[in-house]
Chains A and B, each alone.
Chain A
Amino acid sequence: MSDELLALHGIETRIGRYHILHGVDFAAQRGRVTMLLGRNGAGKTTTLRTVMGLWRASAGRIMFDGRDIAGLGTPDIARLGIAYVPETMGIFSQLTVRENLLLATGREGLTDERLDRLFSLFPALKERFAVPAGVLSGGQKQMLAIGRAVIEPRRLLVVDEPTKGLAPAVIQVLIDAFRRLKQSETTILLVEQNFHMAVSVGDDVAVMDDGRIVHTGSMADLAADDALQHRLLGFSLAVHQ
C-alpha cells in the first residue's frame, strides 16, 4: 500500500472565467502533517476546496487511498473520512456548541469518550457546551471548528489557515492540539501562514505560486533555508509569525 493517502495529479480548477489552478501535483503522506504554503492568491484555498469537491476540478485526478475522488460530490468525499475546516470556520452560529458537534457525528452521537477526548484538546469548549456558537470568541470558534472536524476519527483532516486573526495564546492551544492529533497519526493537510505553527507541526511542505506547486520537501529543510524561503515565498517565515 502506498504511503500517499491523498495525491493530486495535474489538477486544474476554473472559477467562472478565471483559471485558478494550473496543474497542481503533490501528495499528503499517511500519518503526517503536510503544510501547503504560498503567497496570498497562490491557490491554496482553491486547492483545498477542490479536494473537498466544493469547486470542481476541470482536469486532473485527486487520488484518495487509491481511488479517484475528483468527480465525487462533497458529501460523498466527506463520507470517505475527510474532514474540512474552512478559512471561515463554518460553524453554525445559531446552533449550540453541542449541536454543532452532534451534526459531525454518525449514529453513535456524542459519547462520553469522544467528549472527554475533545475537552482534553480544547478545555474551553466544555464550559461553553450549551451556548449558541455565535456567542463564542474567535479562538473558541476555531477550537469548535477543529473539534467538530475531529470529534469522530477521520482519515484526513483538511484545515485552511486556522490561526488567522487569533491571539498568540490561542494559537499555542491550536499548536498543542495539532501536535496531539499528530501523535494519533491523523493525516493532516494544513494551509498556514504562521511560521511557528508551520514549523511546530509540519512534517512535509508543498509551496504554491500562481496556481502551481513550485516546491515540495520537508518542512524542516525549508525552515532552515532562509534563501529558499525568500525565493519561494518572497519573505522569511521567521519574520512572518
Chain B
Amino acid sequence: MKRDWAPYAVLPVLVLIALPAMGVTNWLVLTVAGLAMGAMLFLMAAGLTLIFGLMDVLNFAHGAFITLGAYVAVSVVAPLAGWAMADSWVMNLAVFAVAIVIASIVSGAVGWGFERVIVRGVYGAPLQQILVTMGGLIVAQQLFIVLWGADAIPLLKPTAFGGSIVVHGAAIEKYRLIALALGLAVFVALHLLLSRTRVGLLVRAGVENREMVEALGYRVRRLFVGVFVVGTALAGIGGVTWAFYQELVTAQLGGDMTILVFIILIIGGLGSVGGSLVGAMLVGLTTNYVGFLAPTVSLGSNILLMVLILLWRPRGLFPVAHG
C-alpha cells in the first residue's frame, strides 16, 4: 500500500495559486493571517476530532469551552493589567502564559464535569447527543451572561504583542506570528503524545477500533474521559488566543466558531489530528484569500471548500480507518 500524497499537496497548492492573483505583499500578509487563523482554529478543533474519533460523540457544546477560555482570560488579565501593559516582553509573555494555563485548567475541569453529567448518559445515541450538547451550549451562553454580563468585554493584547513587523514591505502582525507558533507547538506536542506514548497509541488505536482496545484489557471509557478533558482544555486555549486576536469577548464567541470547527473536522477527516491541522489551515487561508479577492462570496467560501473536498475525498483528506 503506497502512501497517498495528494492530500498533503492541497495546502501548498492553495498557497501557490493565490500568489499570482494578489501580488507578493498582499499574498504575504494574507498567508500569514490565514495560517495564524488556522493555528487558532486548530487549537479549537483538535480536541473535538479526538472526542468524536474515539467515542463517536458529537459535542455541539464544544464552543462553550472556547468561550469559557476567553472569559477566563478576561478574569485573569484584569488583575494583571499592569503586567499586560508593561513595556516588558517577559511580563507580557507571563500574563499571556498565565491566562492560557488557567483557562486550560478551568476548561478541562468543567469539561470533566460536563462529560460525567451530560455526555456519559448519551453514549451511542447520536440524536440525544446533538440535543443535549446543543442544549448545553445554550445554557452555557446564558450562564456566561449571568457571570460576566451581556455586554462585550474588551481584552487588549499585551503591549509587546501589538504592532507589526515589516517583511518585504508587508506588515505582519506580531500577534499572528505568536498564535501561529503556539498552534504549531501544540500540534507537535500532540503528535509526540500520540505517537511516542502508550496512552497516545491507545487513543489512536481506540479511534480505529474501540472494541478491540477493550478486548486487549483497556477501559476505553476512562481513556475517553482523559481525551475529553484534554480536548476541552485545548478549546479553552483556542478561546484565549482568539479572544486576544479579536480583542473582544462575547457569550457567542465560541458558538460562532462551532460551524467552522465542524467544517475543519469534516475536511480533515473525523478523528485525525493531522487532518484537523491541515483543515484548519485551509479554512484560515480560504477565509483570508477569498475575503480579499471576492469579499461578496467570502461568507460561503468555507462551505464551498468543504463541498469541493468532499466531492474529491468523501471521507475527508485524512480519513481514519475503522476496524
Contact = CB atoms under 8 A, between A and B. Distances in A.
B218 interface: yes
B215 A54 contact: yes
Given A92-B208, A95-B205, A103 B216 contact: yes
A135 interface: yes
Interface in B201-240: 201-202, 204-205, 208-209, 211-220
A90 interface: yes
A84 B320 CA distance: 23
Contacts of A75: 214, 217-220
A95 B201 contact: yes
B323 A93 contact: yes
A78 B201 contact: no
Contact of A92 (B212, B217, B220): B212
B198 interface: yes
Contacts of B220: 75
A92 B215 contact: no
Interface residues of A, number: 23
B321 interface: yes
B111 to A, nearest CB: 23
A78 B214 CA distance: 8
B1 interface: yes
Contacts of A102: 198, 201
A148 B220 CA distance: 19
B233 to A, nearest CB: 25
| Max chain A C-beta neighbours (<10 A), residue from B204, B209, B215 | B215
Contacts of A79: 217
A103 B198 contact: yes
Contact of A95 (B1, B204, B215): B204
A86 B321 CA distance: 17
Given A94-B208, A95-B201, A99-B201, A104 B216 contact: yes
B221 to A, nearest CB: 9
Given A103-B216, A104-B216, A93 B321 contact: yes
Nearest to B214: A74
A183 B230 CA distance: 47
A78 B320 contact: no
A88 interface: yes
Given A74-B214, A78-B214, A79-B217, A94 B321 contact: yes
A54 B211 contact: yes
Interface in A56-90: 73-75, 78-79, 84, 86, 88, 90
A20 interface: no
A52 interface: yes
Given A75-B214, A78-B214, A103-B213, A92 B219 contact: no
A90 B214 CA distance: 11
A54 B212 CA distance: 10
A92 B218 contact: no
A34 B205 CA distance: 30
A168 to B, nearest CB: 24
Contacts of A135: 1
Closest 9 CB pairs of A and B: A90-B212, A78-B217, A74-B214, A135-B1, A92-B205, A84-B215, A79-B217, A75-B219, A93-B321
30 contacts: A52-B215, A54-B214, A73-B219, A75-B218, A75-B220, A78-B214, A78-B215, A78-B217, A79-B217, A84-B215, A86-B212, A86-B215, A88-B323, A90-B323, A91-B323, A92-B204, A92-B208, A92-B323, A93-B208, A93-B323, A94-B208, A94-B321, A95-B204, A95-B208, A102-B198, A103-B201, A103-B213, A103-B218, A134-B1, A134-B321
Interface of B: 1, 198, 201-202, 204-205, 208-209, 211-220, 320-321, 323
